[in-house]
Amino acid sequence: MNIRVNKEVELALKEGKPVVALESTIISHGMPYPQNVETALNVEKIVRENGGVPATIGIIDGVGVVGMSEEEIEEFGKRGMSIPKVSRRDMPMVMASKSWGATTVATTMILASLGGIEFFVTGGIGGVHRGAETTFDISADLEELGRTNVTVICAGAKAILDLPKTLEVLETKGVPVLGYGTEELPAFYTRTSGLKVDYKVNNPKEAADIVRAKRDLKLDGGILITNPIPEEDSMDADKINAVIDNAIKEMDEKGIKGKDCTPFLLAKVAEITEGKSLAANIKLVYNNAKIGTLIAKEYCDEN
């Protein structure tokens, strides 16, 4: 199998300790060096401070690495966007050619599942893109959530997406969408979207109990736990939506499509907001790392 599990992660899993998977696209494509490395290591630190073992996942020389070393994270940060984003369809080619690859939500879920990890923390998931009724542009993240047994903790789907359609697809795939302390779907940069989640959980135990119930029932597929960005870091909804609309217009004018859409839009939004959206993105990831680890810890303590 083209997978290497870090010894610390392997031991933690054997001992029933909480392990939290983390993606590598946020390192290579999420922000510039050295801020990307600093953020990735801070997320790992937050996982440890809350009683978990971090497992940053990436593809190195054709091998899926579950639990990258600090040196490997540093190299990912330096190589940046020269490392391609890898989704499910790309994995065979990247593995066969012994290349490097940055794992998206979908591929992080796949490798986490192969490594025996239940919980995965990220910023926001991909979803149905605006205008998908004509482009059919729907992220592979949603397909993976419908088939792979990993619980994903995030701040909702990325705000650049069509959130109502994203929820409809998740419902079709049978993916429970939980709100951590909220009945409303968070919208990444903001705490509310006007859309209802399936169920509100008020603490880590309630969330862990739902994950355990789904696994006991042998219902394949993921669970999505949406955790709102902290109030003090939340952006003004009208302003950020206007910025996103302008960024999407420019993207369409430039003919940018497919997997290039999300990096372009996030970078453009960061540019227009003078870095405020990137700062919010970092804060929400830190918050998700804390809550995700507490849920993973509760799940392991009761197993």
- The CA distance from 233 to 101, in Å, is 31
* Rounded-to-integer distance, Cα 94 and Cα 90, Å: 6
- Distance, CA of 250 to CA of 203 (rounded, Å): 41
Residue matched to tokens 């993976």 = 144
For helices 140-147 and 105-115, the axis angle rounded to 10 degrees is 30
**Burial tier of 27 (Cβ tally within 10 Å: 0-12, 13-18, 19+):** buried
What is the SS3 assignment for 4? strand
**Is 23 a known active-site residue?**
yes
**Catalytic residue check, 158:** yes
- Exactly one of 118, 144, 158, 290 is catalytic; name it: 158
Closest to 303 (Cα-Cα) out of 215, 212, 205: 212
Residue from 23, 72, 118, 144 carrying the catalytic annotation: 23
Cα–Cα distance for residue pair 4/67, rounded to 1 Å: 8
| Residues forming the active site | 23, 158
